[in-house]
Amino acid sequence: MSLLKSREALLALAILVLIGVVAARFPAFVRPGNLANVFNDTSPLIILAIGQMIVILTKCIDLSVAANLALCGMVAALMNGAGVPLAVILPGVIVLGGALGAVNGVLVWKLGIPSIVVTLGTMTIFRGSIFLMTGGQWVNAHQMSEAFKALPRTVLLGLPVMSWMAIALIALFGVVLTRTALGRAFYAVGGNPHAAVYAGINVGRTQFAAFVISGALAGLAGYLWVARYAVAYVDIASGFELDVVAACVIGGVAIAGGAGTITGAVLGALFLGVIKNALPVVGISPFWQMAISGAAIVLAVAFNATQSRASGRIILKSAEAR
């Protein structure tokens, strides 16, 4: 546990150094208003990273989150166009996202299909469904009601609602993971599935629950994304699932399952968010971002591996992984 804590402290330090380096040249970057902006900008990534982290804890992976986000975002926009009130849309997309996650979950739970195959498949099916619904049409800002667009941007106590939602979800799942039986089950299933079975935990159902959570969070993020950028089309958030996995890996979530914290995942997301927002400030072409996050993933996973090797647990872990 102290090892995990130190890794998160290290990551927090890396983020501070990063901010410091940028601030040395461009002091405006560290103005509270701008930092709040960076956090707000990173909120969808944080929300998805929480869900992804829970899925990865259970030895699975969810590559369909970005497609789920896009599908739910489009449904939200279409419901808005049909005059459905926001009070219905918001729970609606969360339920829809959760249902899409449940599809992944059932295939993993009941048929035992590896999650990477399931979610690679549903990723294309979800995106394709958006095309089937809309025929490739866009929903633009002028087709959305003011209330629909305003909610994520409404400022409460100095922060936009979108940021508050991210903070609330961090707190909620922080409690769920550390203070509830379900939370412990996520860790148990990933840490040692056999032991989990003997401890009376239903492995498949726990994985199912993880996919439903991941899907529901993607659904919520879908509304936030579409409302904030005021546009919905087939390809929104295309490739975003990689950023989400990257945030988790950088945050020290073990891809073999069973280890990781909400703090880590959130810090991983913030690390990517700070880089993304700092690049244009420093004057580096945004085309660098993809390569930088790729390099960050590789470095983070290499770093995680050397860390766990030093702890002397690697022999058991690797035997278990095979």
Query: Which positions touch other proteins (CB under 8 A)?
Result: 59-61, 107-108, 111-118, 120-125, 127-129, 131-132, 136, 193-194, 196-197, 203-204, 207, 234, 242, 245-246, 249, 255-256, 285, 287-298, 301-302, 305, 318-319, 321-322
Q: Which is nearer to other proteins, 34 or 289 (CB)?
A: 289
Q: What does the block give as tokens for 263?
A: 């703090």
Shortest Å distance, C-beta 54 to other proteins: 16
Quote the least distance from Cβ 63 to other proteins, whole Å: 9
**Closest CB to other proteins among 80 and 115?**
115
Q: Taking the complex as a whole, how short is the minimal distance between the CB of residue 116 and other proteins, in angstroms?
A: 7
CB of 293 to other proteins, least distance (A): 5
CA atoms within 13 A on the CB side of 9: 6
| 216 vs 249, beta carbon nearer other proteins | 249
Q: How far apart are CA 279 and CA 93, in angstroms?
A: 33
Work out the number of other CB atoms within 10 angstroms of the CB of residue 70: 26
Q: How far is the CB of 274 from other proteins (least distance, A)?
A: 17
Nearer to other proteins, 36 or 320 (CB): 320
Identify whether the C-beta of residue 237 lies closer than 8 Å to the C-beta of residue 229: no
CB closer to other proteins, 85 vs 136: 136
Nearer residue to other proteins within complex by CB, 17 or 132:
132
Q: Determine the Cα angle at 30 with ends 28 and 32, to 5°.
A: 105
End-to-end Cα separation, the chain, in angstroms:
24
**Least gap, CB of 193 to other proteins (angstroms):** 4
**DSSP result, 14-56:** HHHHHHHHHHHH-GGGGSHHHHHHHHHHHHHHHHHHHHHHHHH
Looking at the DSSP assignment, which residues form a beta bridge with residue 139? 232
What one-character DSSP code corresponds to residue 138? -
